[in-house]
Structure 1
């Protein structure tokens, strides 16, 4: 963070989340332990570190709700992270609707993390749209990695297949994006699709090794340079993507 001039970061658990824990009781115990440890870690760096909590999606719905209640006692959490498998049948599975309603009611944004990167993100959110998830839970807020995959490019095609509320209303009302695309062209498309005020800088650290030898992390540098080339370093849009949007959306204060 110091090397790249990053003032504040939001931490989250990486893949495969807790999906590999088949025993629901064990998953609940592990989720609460991880969330408590993240709270303890972030509290060592006041105003610099926050976190997204993890959920035990192999547990029963009441048990998952108990984890959400526990998470609400941890002041440095700013949302939740989960895999795209949901309860085992994807995020368009009707059985997950009660959880989405709870997360929306609690105003907890959800970062679904994929194993299939942009392709899985595109497929999963398309299925959610076609299944009417966003009609059923209009307050649901998703943070999509990799600038939403192909969604900015395929949005109009997606909404041709079923009569739902406009895909553009979903993108601009339910979807938040990171800016991890390395280039100004896809970043511009992402900003136009959801609104530049809903795009946030991301690092992917430490998931991929850096090729740089001077101590800087490739992805941080490339995404910063892409934002500068797209918006201009002195523009308010650049300031928003590089930090102000996340501070506002996730209340990083």
Structure 2
């Protein structure tokens, strides 16, 4: 196997957690220049607002045939309360769609959505999928523009989820920092609040809310994408099922186990998680058809991600699925 991987050529790839910024977006980040999101954006800002030129060069160098772009965290979920979120989202989506219009063979985009208004989110999702042909949508976690975090297990989002199911497009749930009232355990250790830890815990808990609410029993064909090798959940699924089955107070009227929901309603990506043992474990939990390649450019390196996957000591047919085939099927690309 090692000799085969040494000879392996650069594989064709689809990457689908690839961030962009709309110029001026940084001025709307909640918490301003002190926030984790702002501080993360600034070192790579030029690459975030460059939707085509340098981005395409990195894609060409590492075998990425198609990148699916999305507005970087916190995106529209962090818009201030006095912002017309629906109008801003439409402007941002149109900006991205226009910017990539001459490269539709290489670049696609996930819709941003005004999730604080579920009806407006439905309208924008329909518009972006049916009129502009986008392959789905991406939201940056909870919405807190009203001052109170809104998680999407709330009853007012049920019609939105049914719309996504009806349209047959996935929703990517991307991390953002935990709300201020949830971060007391990080006090004194700001490194824990962001991409090293807090992002993933926050997202995993949001997903568990969706699962435990019974959403996927009422919308069984709904598909969710998670980055960073599944935001911890593949590693914790067995433990969740074990304790939920044993603890009487935790019994819920769900049709399936957490592991089964992950296997039937979720895809995960390799964004920012370039580690072969972790990839093998995730494939073992979700199956070979549910894992997708991603980089998390420009926060992560296309070269590091691409070299890792091209040389991974795994079967070629599995790597082709992860690199290209699974995403092409899910997103109807390529």
Q: TM-score, normalised by structure 1?
A: 0.86
CA positional deviation for 1:58: 2.3
Distance in 2 between the 1:174 and 1:224 partners? 29
Structure 1 moving runs of 4+ over 6 Å: none
Q: Deviations over 1:117-164 (max 9, x none)?
A: 322222222222222222222121110010112211111221232342
Change (3 A) 1:223 1:7: closer
Moved more, 26-35 or 80-89: 80-89
What's the counterpart of residue 328 of structure 2? 247
Moved more, 37-46 or 145-154: 37-46
Correspondence 1:124-143 to 2 at 5 A:
124-143=206-225
Unpaired stretches in structure 1, ≥5 consecutive residues: 209-216
Confirm or deny: 8 A CA contact 2:63 2:306 kept in the other structure. no
Change (3 A) 1:70 1:23: farther
2:76 aligned residue (18, 31, 47): 18
Change (3 A) 1:47 1:15: same
Change (3 A) 1:3 1:76: farther
Residue 8 of structure 1 aligns to a residue whose secondary structure is strand
Distance in 1 between the 2:164 and 2:130 partners? 15
Distance in 2 between the 1:223 and 1:187 partners? 14
* Count of residues in Structure 1 that have an aligned counterpart in Structure 2: 241
What's the counterpart of residue 155 of structure 2? 94
Q: TM-score, normalised by structure 2?
A: 0.67
Q: Deviations over 1:6-30 (max 9, x none)?
A: 1111111110121232458721111
Residue 160 of structure 2 aligns to a residue whose secondary structure is helix
Distance in 1 between the 2:288 and 2:303 partners? 19
1:57 aligned residue (105, 115, 140): 115
Confirm or deny: 8 A CA contact 1:185 1:230 kept in the other structure. no
Correspondence 1:192-211 to 2 at 5 A:
192-208=284-300
What's the counterpart of residue 229 of structure 1? 312
Change (3 A) 1:120 1:228: farther
Correspondence 1:68-217 to 2 at 5 A:
68-86=125-143, 88-115=149-176, 116-159=198-241, 160-161=243-244, 162-163=251-252, 164=254, 165-180=256-271, 181-208=273-300, 217=301
Higher relative contact order (CA 8 A, sep 6+): 2
- Larger helix fraction of residues: 2
What's the counterpart of residue 238 of structure 1? 319
Distance in 2 between the 1:123 and 1:227 partners? 32
Distance in 2 between the 1:16 and 1:8 partners? 24
What's the counterpart of residue 214 of structure 1? none
Confirm or deny: 8 A CA contact 2:136 2:170 kept in the other structure. yes
RMSD across aligned positions (CA): 2.1
Question: If you compute each CA radius of gyration, which structure gives the higher value, 1 or 2?
Answer: 2
Moved more, 184-193 or 71-80: 71-80
Unpaired stretches in structure 2, ≥5 consecutive residues: 1-58, 177-197, 245-250
